[in-house]
Amino acid sequence: MVVMINESALESWRRRTEFPLAAAALIFLGAWAWPIIDPHSAQPWREACRFTTWLVWALFAVDYTVSLVLAQQRWRFVKQYWFDLLIIALPLLRPLRALRLIHVVQLLNRRFSVSLRGNVSMYVSVVTALVVFCAAVAVLDAERGAPGANIDSLGDALWWAATTVTTVGYGDYYPVTVSGRLVAMTLFLAGIALLGVVTGTLASWFTERVRETEETATATQDQVAALTAEVRALRQRLEGEQHRRDEGV
C-alpha cells in the first residue's frame, strides 16, 4: 500500500530481517514445545532444544539492539517497540517463562497483514490455531507435576485450550498454578477477540448485504461540482450576451 522510496536504514533492516526472524520464531516454537510435549526424550536432545531456544532468543536480542542503533529517534523507538523489549526481557524472569510463547505469536503475526474480510477469516483461523497450540504447550509446561494439577498430557492441554478459547469452560480441566493461570488469561483475551472478530466480520457482511440491495450509487461531490461549473458558465455567457446587446443597440 505504501511505496517507500527513501527507505530509512531502520526500515530496510526490519524489512530484510522479517522473514529470517519469523523462521527463527518457528524454530523456537519447535525447540520450546518438543521437550514439553515429550518429557521422556533423551537428555542430549533436550539440551539441544534448550540451546536452540536461547540461540533464537540471542538473535531476537541482536535484532532489537541493531534496530535501536539504526533508529534515528532512539527514545521514540523504545516507546514504540516497548513490547519487543518486554518480550526479550521476559525469558530472564523464570516464573514468567511460560509467557515466552507470546513472542513467537507476535513475530509470526508481523508476517501477516490484515486486509478485508476473506483474508480476515484465514488470518483469524491461523492465529487462533497458533495461540491455542502455544497456550496448550505453555499450560502443560506450567502444570505438569504441580500439586493438584489436572492437565498432564498434550491431549488434555489442547482440549482445555479449545474449551477455553471458545469460552465454553466445562471445568473438567483448569490450571492451578500462577504461570498456568497467566497463560489462561491470555487465552481468555484471545477468546474474546475471536468472538469479536467472527461477530464483527459477520455483522459487517450483513450490513453491507442489506445496503447493497437497498441503495443505488449516490451522487459524488465531483459530479455535482462539475454540474455547478457548467451552470455558472451558462450564466456568465447569458450576462455577457445581454451586456453586448445593451451596448450594441
Q: Which amino acid is at 27?
A: I
Residue 201 binds to its own copies (criterion: CB under 8 A):
yes
Q: Which three cell numbers stand for residue 155?
A: 491431549
Determine the interface stretch with its own copies among 12-20, 94-102, 137-145, 193-201 (rule: CB under 8 A). Answer: 193-201
Q: Supply the DSSP symbol for 166.
A: T
Q: How far is it, in rounded angstroms, from Cα 72 to Cα 11?
A: 11
Please, which residues have CB within 8 angstroms of residue 9's CB and are 6 or more apart in sequence?
70
Q: Which of 132, 152, 128, 130 is nearest to 141 (CA)?
A: 152
By beta-carbon proximity to its own copies, the closer residue of 4 and 217 is: 217
What does the buried/exposed string (b/e) look like for 206-226 if buried means 16 or more CB atoms within 10 Å of the residue's CB? eeeeeeeeeeeeeeeeeeeee
Instruction: Tell which one of 28, 32, 77, 174 touches its own copies (CB under 8 A).
Output: 174
Buried b / exposed e along 117-148 (16+ C-beta atoms within 10 A): eeebeebbeebbebbbbbbbbbbbbbbbebee
| Contact flag: residue 205 with its own copies (CB under 8 A) | yes
> 89 or 225: whose CB is closer to its own copies?
225
Toward its own copies, which CB reaches closer, 69 or 178?
178
Candidate segments 19-27, 28-36, 75-83, 237-245, binder of its own copies by CB under 8 A: 237-245
Give Cβ neighbours of residue 227 (< 8 Å, ≥ 6 apart). none
Residue 39 or 200: the one with the smaller Cβ distance to its own copies is 200
Please say which residue, 69 or 195, places its beta carbon nearer to its own copies: 195
203 binds its own copies (CB under 8 A): yes
Mark residues 107-146: x for contact with its own copies by CB under 8 A, - for none: ---------xx--x--------------------------
Residue 208 binds its own copies (CB under 8 A): yes
The residues binding its own copies (CB under 8 A) are 116-117, 120, 155, 159, 162-164, 166-172, 174, 178, 181, 184-185, 188-189, 191-210, 213, 215-228, 230-235, 237-239, 241-242
